[in-house]
Amino acid sequence: MRILELPFRDAILLDVACALAVHAFYRKYEPDASAFFAQFILLVAVPSIPAVSLRHFQDSVGLGILAAYIIFYFSLITSIILYRLSPWHPLAKYPGPVLAKISKLWITYRQARGKLHLDLKELHDKYGLYVRIAPNEISIIDASVVSSCLTNGMPKGPIWTARVPPSSSPSLIAIRSTHEHNRRRKRWNRGFNSAALKGYEPTVQRRALQFIGELEKRSVKNGIASVNLAEWISFFATDFMGDMAFGGGFELMRDGGDKDGVWTLIESGLRSSAIYQHLPWITPLLFRLPFAKQNLLRFRQFGVQRASERKAKGSVTKDLFYHLIDEDNIDKDPPTDAEIVADGILVILAGSDTTSTTLSGLFYYLLSNRLDYRRLQKEIDTAFPPGEGDPFDTLKLSELPFLNAVINETMRLQPPLPAYLQRSPEAGTGGKMIGDKFISEGTAVVVPPYTLFRHPAYFSPATETFWPDRWLPNGIPKRNPYSSSSVKEDILDSKYDGEIVTNQAAFIPFSYGPANCAGRALALTEMRIIVALTMQRFEIQFAPGFDPKEWEEHLKDFFVMSNGPLPVTLTPRR
């Protein structure tokens, strides 16, 4: 064969040419990492061609072949790096860290630390509204184009490919096809229409009263010095979403802890998924490794069991599962068992962690701002006088201005999904215009709520301060007798004549567009009832010895915000 007789220089050039050809192939076709035959051809068979020739230029055949592979991989990696840093890359005009432009490992490392929300804010503070955060990914906090990023033919991005186990049906949140998403969303919309929400109210009320009963057992009256309020809120949210997803079976409040390991499964699943979502190519490989597969499938197997039990016993009430399983037989195309399991699991994951973290954050902010606490308590007592019934009138709750302002301000400072609303042009479209910028197919766009909500151009003054008044519908008073912060005193002083900016277009705690949070109305109802009932029944204070600074330190971004303990003392009011 002529290849065996190539001069040394030509053999080296052939090795480099093979590497460049493989890079070009990957850029165009991006074969899945689980396609082992394709990977073998590209990364093993192709470099073996120049290796046949180079082996003759070493004393050892093995060293010659090793040299050929080293040259091939060095050339391939160098080619990738140079292209990603070159002015010919589609995202070359966007600023960002050099390491982020080179590899997704940069953002994967920061996600693993749990502080990605802070990292992205720091990047935007440094580089501006548009930042390149990965080789083919940009982060955008330009409020004028946020709606276009989340609509306009921009379905879910590639991170969702990594969050779906191979050969499994994706849940609603992970569907990347607009057509398929619209088909599946119809059942969710029926499950969250006004009639369905009204039917869920008795379940919310029952679980809320159970929550209060458990807190009363752990109050100062019973000699309990402190209770981890965040933990009990998590128990409540998980029990309630278990009712919605599978008709019950979750009893964390009754058991006083995670007896069946449900919460542990949720937390471990969220953390691991948050890390490997940045490396979509690795998921198929993980599911070929027995030890990794077992961990990743534990919660899915739990969901399969719960869904099977719920289907077998049928409906007692029209819970959300009733609509997701289409027990009304409305759909011409009924859901498959795989879709039912995937969506049932989503109900628990999306509804429990996000709501509990927001509620815990809300009480943290109120306890850190005692006059705001008193102000909200007074509003609730006026609307629902103690001793005259529980605050379960959802219409009246929805009309309490300060309660809703406190909820909004909590979600502004501590959004449940802090950093990664990701979208990408739909496959086959070639790309989409976002404002005056063209986003080519294969490029991901991220809108980071934590950074967006803390930008002074959209929320000012006191952008970093808990200040519910910015949300009041009747405007901001020049003086506020309830203000407890020196910063607020400066803002609300009669001498302050600056503009109050509260940009509603930049406030998207439940995402935006056709792929927004289907359960928004239920989540708000749930939060209003828990806040009103808890504040009506208890006087709450931070537990002695607790440093409020610990709360911010313990906040972690694992796709959804995760919080640490919130130790408080509870004193019954009546």
The secondary structure of 189-209, three-state, reads HHHCCHHHHHHHHHHHHHHHH
Residue 48's CB is within 10 A of a number of other CB atoms, namely 13
Contacts 24+ apart (CB under 8 A), 189-193: 189/518, 190/323, 190/330, 191/320, 191/322, 191/323, 191/324, 191/518, 192/320, 192/518, 192/519, 192/520, 192/521, 192/522
Nearest Cα to Cα of residue 538 among 420, 363, 397, 393: 363
For the chain, count helices (H), then strands (E). 25, 13
Q: How many residues does the chain have?
A: 574
The set of residues, in sequence order, having a beta carbon less than 8 Å from that of 10 and lying 6+ positions away, is none
The C-alpha atoms of residue 317 and residue 419 are separated, in whole angstroms, by: 36
Single-letter residue type at 121: K
Is residue 517 a known part of a binding site?
yes
The C-alpha atoms of residue 472 and residue 494 are separated, in whole angstroms, by: 18
Residue with tokens 């061609």: 49
Residue 492 parent element (H or E): helix 486-492
Residue with tokens 């109120």: 366
- Known binding-site residue numbers: 517
- Known binding-site residue numbers for heme: 517
